[in-house]
Chain A
Amino acid sequence: MEQRSNQKTRPVARSYPISVERVTKSYGDVPAVADLSFVVEPGRVTGFLGPNGAGKSTTMKILLGLASATSGRVTIGGAAYAELPDPAGTVGASVEADAFHPGRSGRNHLRILADATDTPLERVDEVLELVDLNHAASRRAGAYSLGMKQRLGLAAALLCDPPVLVLDEPGNGLDPQGIRTLRNLLRSRAAAGNTVFVSSHLLGEVEQLADDVVVVNQGRLVTQGSLADLRQSASLVRAASADVLRVALEEAGGIVESKQPDTLVVRGLTLDKIGERAFRAGIALHELSRHADSLEDRFFAWTGEAAVGEPQRNTKEYQ
């Protein structure tokens, strides 16, 4: 798998951005997705983050035409999934980790897909080798581990070598080697101009995999953008009179968090602005630098959920 997944993926002939436009999906009176809009760009790996029940899977199902939106529109390269001339050849998807007949072999599962998409049957063995499942291809899928099922789902998504990949929690159940292989595979596909959209709750995995993130909570968009930019959207300030500086920065519209008695993390103000405010207040700064949070810290801040043992954090800035 390692060897094959590191092979260079051929560049795509046409790019397919995914566009989610004001999508709402309600089950009765309960909104699963509410007025959600974002764009997934080709050539990048986009992580789709949110707590359980945030609406990630529902959004993906709407994207793939498996569920209908109450309102709004989702397009892939400008067309709804069902309107694409070759849907399965354009989008490779894995949305249900265990969507296999337990009595059917992995190879036959893929052959069915090959039949439906007019894909040569030889390609089945190619993708089985790509995901390192050829040794178990003849075994019943019901006997597969979760990691093997994930690999089979990935093989199905890759069968037609599509320019768009939509994967729901593909890292679940994979061992460290499998996760690394998945990461290399997805990154190489994105590097070739493909669109890669991956939902996950494994933040460490996303941190190493994604270029961009879309974060949802309770069906609503919390934030989206380049992961690097989002993580660096804070500044670290060290000053002798941190309490006084804090008041000055909050008056200027900053959102300030005390890390230590003399250290503040400031959001919503540029480095220049922070420096100016400190100068006006007559406070000497010992350090003023960009501050990169871990994705986990950012995630809990975005979703307003505290990690175990931590207080709830302010998320107003992202609403």
Chain B
Amino acid sequence: MNYLSTVRAELRKLTSTRMPVGFVIVLVVIGAATAIAVAFGTDMDGSKTFISTAEHQQSLMAFAANALVIAGLFGAIAVAREYGHGTVVLTFLTTPRRPRAVLAQLAAAFVAGSMLGLVGAGVSAGSVAVGLTATDYGFMVSTADLLQVIAASTLAGGAGAVLGAGIGAFVRNTGGAVTGTILLLIILPPLAVQMVSETASWVPNTLADVVSGVDSAVGIGAAITAILLWALVPAAIGLVSVTRRDVV
């Protein structure tokens, strides 16, 4: 028995139910909405300015912020349901050293979240490209920028899933884990910005946009580090709580 075996088992857990399919369907729906907006949407003045430059198109494609939230919910539901269904017992019977088991869960969540982020970015870029065919504008984003958008979404997806998994391990209840993830990624950041405006550069949305190359509030290295910290702090809390509490 080794760590990679535990990770492999955790990955099989994540892929042996219909949940990933459900999330991919959500990504496809978002992509379809994006394509329709690109094809038929206009600015307030009736123009198509929002797709008229490479920067605008890159902004439309930037999926990292969405990936953070979607993969966050995926990680939260996946881990919290483990406790709800009792399948986590299997994890701790095969890997009774709990930190090791939780790290395997987090690693599997990172991989699965990254895949969601990657698929989300691909669907998003594809949707913009498809939508543009119905307009007078061509696809202007360079390959390098497109790769940055995809890489950013992949990283954000992985980080989001780890964040959600940490919350799921701490809360151990699906409803509570989903609520916690939404609070942390969607509701609390704007409130924090309202209270302390300097935090605006460090909230998940801004950081995701910086990594995607569509914002420059902070340096890209700092943004990557900050996104990982957003994920690792809840993950560490989850790990410590699992180590200290009874499993069932």
Contacts and interface: CB of A to CB of B under 8 A. Distances in A.
Interface of A: 61, 64-68, 81-82, 86-89, 91, 93, 95-96, 98-105, 108-109, 111-113, 115-118, 156
Which of B5, B85, B91, B95 is the most central at the interface, judged by chain A CB atoms within 10 Å of its CB?
Answer: B85
Given A61-B248, A99-B85, A104-B17, A112 B12 contact: yes
Contact of B5 (A108, A115, A156): A115
Interface residues of B, number: 28
B244 to A, nearest CB: 9
A117 B90 contact: no
Given A67-B246, A108-B16, A113-B9, A81 B94 contact: no
Contacts of A95: 89, 248
A116 B87 contact: no
Contacts, number: 92
B1 A86 contact: yes
14 contacts: A64-B93, A67-B247, A68-B246, A82-B96, A88-B93, A89-B1, A100-B86, A105-B16, A113-B9, A115-B8, A116-B91, A118-B1, A118-B2, A118-B5
Contact of B1 (A64, A68, A88, A109): A88
Contacts of A108: 12, 16
A118 B4 CA distance: 10
A96 B9 contact: no
B81 A101 contact: yes
Contacts of B86: 96, 98-100
B9 A112 contact: yes
A112 B13 contact: yes
B97 A82 contact: yes
Interface string B84-117: 0111011111111100000000000000000000
Contacts of B248: 61, 66-67, 95-96
A66 B9 contact: no
A87 B16 contact: no
Contact of B246 (A61, A98, A109): A61
A66 B89 CA distance: 7
A87 B94 contact: yes
A109 to B, nearest CB: 8
A88 B101 CA distance: 14
A272 to B, nearest CB: 50
Given A61-B246, A61-B247, A68-B246, 9 more contacts: A66-B247, A82-B97, A98-B86, A99-B85, A100-B86, A105-B16, A109-B87, A112-B9, A112-B16
The 5 A-B residue pairs whose C-beta atoms are closest, nearest first, are A99-B86, A116-B9, A82-B96, A115-B9, A116-B94
B153 interface: no
Contacts of A81: 96
B181 interface: no
A176 to B, nearest CB: 27
Q: Which of A67, A101, A111 has the most CB of B within 10 A?
A: A101
Interface in B21-72: none
B81 to A, nearest CB: 7
A62 to B, nearest CB: 9
B5 A101 contact: no
Interface centre among A82, A103, A116 (most CB of B within 10 A): A116
B58 to A, nearest CB: 38
Given A67-B248, A86-B1, A113 B94 contact: yes
Contacts of B2: 118
A115 B6 CA distance: 7
Contacts of B96: 64-65, 81-82, 87
Contacts of A88: 1, 93-94
Nearest to B91: A116
Contacts of A116: 1, 5-6, 8-9, 90-91, 94-95
A118 to B, nearest CB: 5
Given A96-B248, A111-B12, A103 B92 contact: no
A224 B157 CA distance: 55
A116 B16 CA distance: 15
A102 B87 CA distance: 10
A112 B18 CA distance: 16
Contacts of A86: 1
Contacts of A82: 96-97
A156 B92 contact: no
Contact of B12 (A89, A115, A156): A115
Contacts of A117: 1, 5, 94
A81 B89 CA distance: 14
A81 B9 CA distance: 20
B90 A66 contact: no
Most chain B CB neighbours (cut-off 10 Å) among A93, A98, A111, A112: A112
